[in-house]
Chains A and B, each alone.
Chain A
Amino acid sequence: MSDNHKSAGGVPTTGHVWDDDLADLVNQPPKWWMLGLTASAIWVVVYWLMYPAVPVALNGNYFKGVGLPGSGQWTAIKELEADQKEVDAVRSKYENKLKDMTPAAILADSELTEYVTRSGKVLFSDNCAACHGQNGAGTIQKGGKFAMREQGYMAPMLNDDDWLFGGTIDKIHETVSGGRQGVMTAHKDTLSGQQIDDVAKWVLASSEGNGNAPEFAAGKKVFASSDCASCHGADGKGMQAMGSANLTDKIWRFDGSLEGIKQTITYGVNVGPDARNAVMPNFTEAGKLTPAEIKKLAVYVYKLGGGKADAAVAAK
């Protein structure tokens, strides 16, 4: 049967016939089509060699694929560098401007502020959020191992408009670059338990706006006559120069419950093992952040929701 590759209707057959008349025709595809197929098959190999798929180690260099002639040897690091260059090209426009600007000047430029708050958000997450919480929402520590010592905020919430050391852009910048450490003396030896109880009740009442109510008169008297007023001010509104808290608002640096207030008064802040711990590190000395990054953070924190307009700037 092999000698009988006769054509049926002009088409050559393979010589196989089933069921009497079912023949297997040999219809050659067009030549251009076959050439295309062959060329594609060759291209697959060439492409596979050029594409960064095959790991190559030559003369101590590691790379992938042979690449196009003149395109160099592909590595993931090189690609990353190229990508970073692209990003840097976009950023450099702003970054160059930032270098010589004060944080206040940055705030005056809305487009720059938008850029800075965006890159500031990343910096904040990396460097600040551990204590201040994501987006400056504060980190509340309740219960657990440190229940007695550090109940309340681990670090102040930054979205509100209550500032221990001042909420103008320059003050915030000062805080980020130089760090802060508030101090409150312990009163376990200077005040009696009853006095601490009275003054704590008065502090709680003044935050509710009831500081002048007669039932809290005893506490008010303790506040005025002991060393409380010398730091928190006669009106209890605090002094930003030394970082003493405003006791008449509803925002609490530490635990705002009666127990928590009493604990703060008894053991103080930053004055011993039982005292509340409240230290903002010095980020300039830490050397981790550049001056430009600190500026960005200052603007970011200012824009979180509680930044105070500078009285001097506002006056202009």
Chain B
Amino acid sequence: MSNPATGTESGHVTGLYREHEEWTVNTGGKTIHAKRMPGFFRTMKYFTALTWLVFFLGAYPRWHGKQAILFDVTNRQFHFFNITILPQDIWMLSLLLLLMAMTLFAVTSVASRVFCGYFCFQTVWTDVFTWIEEKIEGQPGQRRKLDGAPWSVTKVRLKLMKHAAWLAISVLTGISFSIWFVDAFDYWHDLLTLNLPVIGWATLVAFILGTYILAGFLREQTCFWLCPYARIQGVMTDAQTILPTYDENRGEPRGKLRRHEEGAAKQGDCIDCFQCVQVCPTGVDIRQGQQLGCITCGLCLDACDSVMDKIGRPRGLIRYASLDEMEGRPVKKLYQHPRTFVYIGIILLALSGIIYGLTHLGALVLRVAPERQPLFVRMSDGSIQNKYVFKVLNKTNKDMYVTVKAEDGISGQQIIGAEQPILVYHGRATPFTIFVKAPEKNIHEEITPIEFRVEGVDHPEISSEYQTMFNGPKP
């Protein structure tokens, strides 16, 4: 009974683990050399990969003598053309993150892992690295042969060339990342004169190693083992999501292509040519259905379509299709897909929040803290004086003189301490103290609302208001 051999021999255990050879958990054991085949989705991938040019080039444009887009972490300022975003506006970043997350969710729920398959840096960089590999070492067959061959001058030369090219891309990636955070041209200058700060070198080295290892060696293992998004996105698909799907009804029973009519009649369209597996960058067999390893890049669709063309069968044995379609249920239209609307609703909310934020940023931000001890002071002429600490955040790129005015408050009030325009420094909050003095006879409440307004002397359109209180004695 307890002898496992019994179970094995009786076929139970073996049966249970029959699929072991298809398990992709330990993919790291062998390198996947995917075949490159032309086709619609292949072309799509080249175009979507081009969006990453923004990453390489986006930090170079200048705007009014400064870098147009600069995430100046050291000075805690984000520059985006005319807009400067300070830590005070961090709530917009959270909305932006929400927006990006929701876009990912929405796209995934409609068309599965589009991000993974077409846009993810892991996918794109791996694609570029394997493209180089193919140019230098040849087709997958040649690559496997080369890997297995003993070391020779040719092998060393080819490997050196490949790794040099990989490292060059990695270095460029590291530099392109860094220049979003410091002035791009200063960075190049410091880099070429070997004058980068320690943190600069550390970032560069981390990115070179990260790119080289992740895209050069870990590849699909990143998607299997490291990437949380692969797991998150997997659960976002439902029966209405379109995925690259193998049409089992049409394909099975699969078998080698036969010329005889009677054999062909019993057989499905799948000729078991393994082209779909050979082109897969993560090495999965799509015919086993949707799985963790599938990044839905569509390359197997191209492969299968080209085979179908050759054997004279209709295309689309592997195609983008939903589970509903496969199981013969009515296929819902996109607008009958309530999840999508929830996602779109959240996206619109986040987007309008960001737009509101960007248009209402204001170049000046006024904060006023009334003195709390003492709340008010009786002056020798019998008037009541309040003290306020002003903090004026100047988000423009120039120091600015501002005037201070008050609205509401007590009639006959007098602002002391702002007779002359006050200098507020750019890029930070300048504090100063203001007193407001008012005749006691005009004070009718213990607490009277008062609104302060600061206004640029040369730029009256730049202003900020703050509502606070004027404290007085009990009338």
- Name A's B-contacting residues (CB within 8 A): 1, 4, 6, 8-11, 13, 15-17, 20-21, 23, 25, 27, 30, 110, 114, 117, 133-135, 137-138, 157, 159-162, 246, 249-251, 303-306
Contacts and interface: CB of A to CB of B under 8 A. Distances in A.
B16 interface: yes
A246 B380 CA distance: 9
B432 A114 contact: yes
Nearest to A252: B378
A21 B378 contact: no
B4 A15 contact: yes
B20 A21 contact: no
13 contacts: A4-B4, A6-B8, A8-B16, A8-B20, A9-B17, A11-B17, A21-B7, A23-B13, A30-B29, A135-B374, A157-B377, A159-B387, A161-B380
Nearest to B425: A111
B359 interface: no
A25 B26 CA distance: 14
Interface in B2-28: 2-8, 12-14, 16-18, 20-21, 26, 28
A21 B379 contact: no
A305 B431 contact: no
B374 A159 contact: yes
A159 B12 CA distance: 91
A306 B379 contact: yes
A62 B423 CA distance: 51
A313 to B, nearest CB: 15
B72 to A, nearest CB: 21
Counting from the closest, the 9 A-B pairs by CB-CB distance are: A21-B12, A9-B17, A9-B20, A137-B374, A249-B380, A162-B380, A8-B13, A159-B377, A17-B4
Interface residues of B, number: 36
A249 B26 CA distance: 90
Contacts of A16: 4
B379 A8 contact: no
A251 B21 contact: no
Describe B's contact surface by its main secondary structure: mixed
B382 interface: yes
Contacts of A249: 380-382
Interface string B387-404: 100000000000000000
B387 A23 contact: no
A65 B253 CA distance: 69
A306 B417 CA distance: 11
Contacts of A161: 379-380
B5 A21 contact: no
A24 to B, nearest CB: 9
B425 to A, nearest CB: 9
Nearest to B376: A159
Nearest to A250: B382
Describe A's contact surface by its main secondary structure: loop
Contacts of A9: 13-14, 17-18, 20-21
A8 to B, nearest CB: 4
Contacts of A4: 3-5
Given A4-B5, A20-B1, 20 more contacts: A1-B2, A4-B4, A8-B7, A8-B13, A8-B17, A9-B13, A9-B20, A17-B13, A20-B7, A110-B422, A110-B423, A114-B432, A133-B373, A134-B373, A135-B373, A159-B385, A160-B379, A160-B385, A250-B380, A303-B433
B446 interface: no
Contacts of B371: 135
Contact of B3 (A1, A30, A250): A1
A161 B17 CA distance: 91
Contacts of B41: none
B435 interface: yes
Given A114-B431, A160-B385, A305-B377, A23 B7 contact: yes
Contacts of B17: 8-9, 11, 25
A144 to B, nearest CB: 21
B457 to A, nearest CB: 16
Contacts of A117: 433
Contacts of A157: 374, 377
A30 B27 CA distance: 10
A316 B131 CA distance: 80
A86 B422 CA distance: 30
B14 A8 contact: yes
B230 to A, nearest CB: 18
A287 to B, nearest CB: 30
Given A1-B3, A1-B4, A251 B380 contact: yes
B380 A21 contact: no
B312 to A, nearest CB: 38
Contacts of B432: 110, 114
A160 B6 CA distance: 99
Contacts of A25: 17
Nearest to B385: A305
A25 B7 CA distance: 14
A10 B20 contact: yes
Contacts of B21: 9-10
B221 to A, nearest CB: 9
Nearest to B28: A30
Contacts of B26: 27, 30
Contacts of A8: 4, 7-8, 13-14, 16-17, 20
B116 to A, nearest CB: 23
A17 B4 CA distance: 6
Contacts of B8: 6, 8
